[in-house]
C-alpha cells in the first residue's frame, strides 16, 4: 500500500478507529487498498478516489456492523473534510465506500466503485477468506465453531461471490481463490466423513 500525505492522514484515522476490530481490521483495509491500487492501475481508475474509498470502506463497522456500508458515510465525509480532500471527489469516494459490500448498499456505478467491490471480494475468498470467515462467523453468530457446520458457511461464501466480479483481472485472481476454497471444502468434508 503506497500512500501520499493526504492518504496517510486518512489511514491514521482509519487505523485508529478500527484498531480493536477483529473482522474489518486494519490489516484487512490495508490489503483491500493494495488490491485496489494494483487493479486500479490496470483499469486506468482515479487512484486518489479509489485509494481513499478503499481506506474508508469499512469505517462504519464500529457504528453498525450489519449496515456498515451506509453507517460509515458520515464519519468518512468528516475525515475527508478534515484532511482537505478535494471537494469535487468526495462523493465518488463515498460511493466506493457505500457500494463495496455484497450484503447491501447501492450497485457500484463507477469504475472505482467496481474495483472497490472486487478488491473486497478477493478478501472474502481463498485462504485469507477462510480465516476471515471463521472470525466473522464467530463474531456475528453465523458460525457456531463446530467443524461439521463449516462446509455450509463456505458454500454460502462461494455463492455470494461467484460470477460477481467486474474486472477480468479480479475475476482471474478470484477464480484461483475459489478453486482453492473448493478443494478445501472437499478436504474438510472427507475428514468429517472419516475418509481422510
> pLDDT (tens digit, 9 = 90+) per residue, 85-116?
999 999 999 999 999 998 889 999 999 999 99
d(CA 19, CA 102): 24
> pLDDT (tens digit, 9 = 90+) per residue, 150-192?
999 999 999 999 999 999 999 999 999 999 999 999 999 999 9
Crossing angle (nearest 10°) for helices 26-43 and 168-192: 140
pLDDT value at residue 102: 84
Residue where the block lists cell 454460502: 156
pLDDT value at residue 103: 84
Give 195's pLDDT tier (boundaries 50, 70, 90): very high
> What average pLDDT does this structure show over 3-11?
98
For 30-68, b/e burial (b = at least 16 CB within 10 A) is bbbbebbbebbeebebbbbbbbbbbbbbbbbbbeebeeb
> What average pLDDT does this structure show over 64-71?
92
d(CA 51, CA 87): 16
pLDDT value at residue 191: 97
pLDDT value at residue 196: 86
pLDDT value at residue 188: 96
* Fold type of domain 1-106: Cyclin A; domain 1 (1.10.472)
Neighbours of 172 (CB within 10 A): 10
pLDDT value at residue 119: 98
Domain assignments of the chain as residue spans, ordered by start:
1-106, 124-196
Amino acid at each position: 500500500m503506497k500512500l501520499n500525505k493526504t492518504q496517510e492522514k486518512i489511514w491514521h484515522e482509519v487505523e485508529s478507529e478500527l484498531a480493536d476490530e477483529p473482522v474489518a481490521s486494519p490489516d484487512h483495509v490495508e490489503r483491500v487498498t493494495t488490491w485496489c491500487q494494483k487493479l486500479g492501475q490496470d483499469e486506468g481508475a482515479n487512484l486518489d478516489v479509489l485509494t481513499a474509498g478503499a481506506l474508508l470502506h469499512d469505517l462504519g463497522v464500529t457504528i453498525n456492523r450489519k449496515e456498515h456500508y451506509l453507517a460509515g458515510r458520515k464519519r468518512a465525509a468528516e475525515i475527508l473534510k478534515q484532511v482537505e480532500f478535494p471537494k469535487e471527489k468526495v462523493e465518488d469516494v463515498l460511493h466506493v465506500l457505500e457500494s463495496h459490500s455484497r450484503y447491501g448498499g447501492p450497485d457500484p456505478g463507477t469504475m472505482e466503485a467496481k474495483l472497490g467491490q472486487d478488491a473486497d471480494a478477493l478478501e472474502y475468498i481463498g485462504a485469507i477468506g477462510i480465516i476471515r470467515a471463521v472470525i466473522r462467523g464467530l463474531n456475528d453468530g453465523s458460525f457456531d465453531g463446530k467443524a461439521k457446520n463449516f462446509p455450509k458457511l463456505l458454500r454460502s461464501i462461494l455463492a455470494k461471490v461467484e460470477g460477481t466480479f467486474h474486472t477480468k483481472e479480479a475475476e482471474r485472481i478470484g477464480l484461483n481463490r475459489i478453486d482453492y476454497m473448493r478443494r478445501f471444502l472437499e478436504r474438510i468434508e472427507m475428514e468429517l466423513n472419516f475418509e481422510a
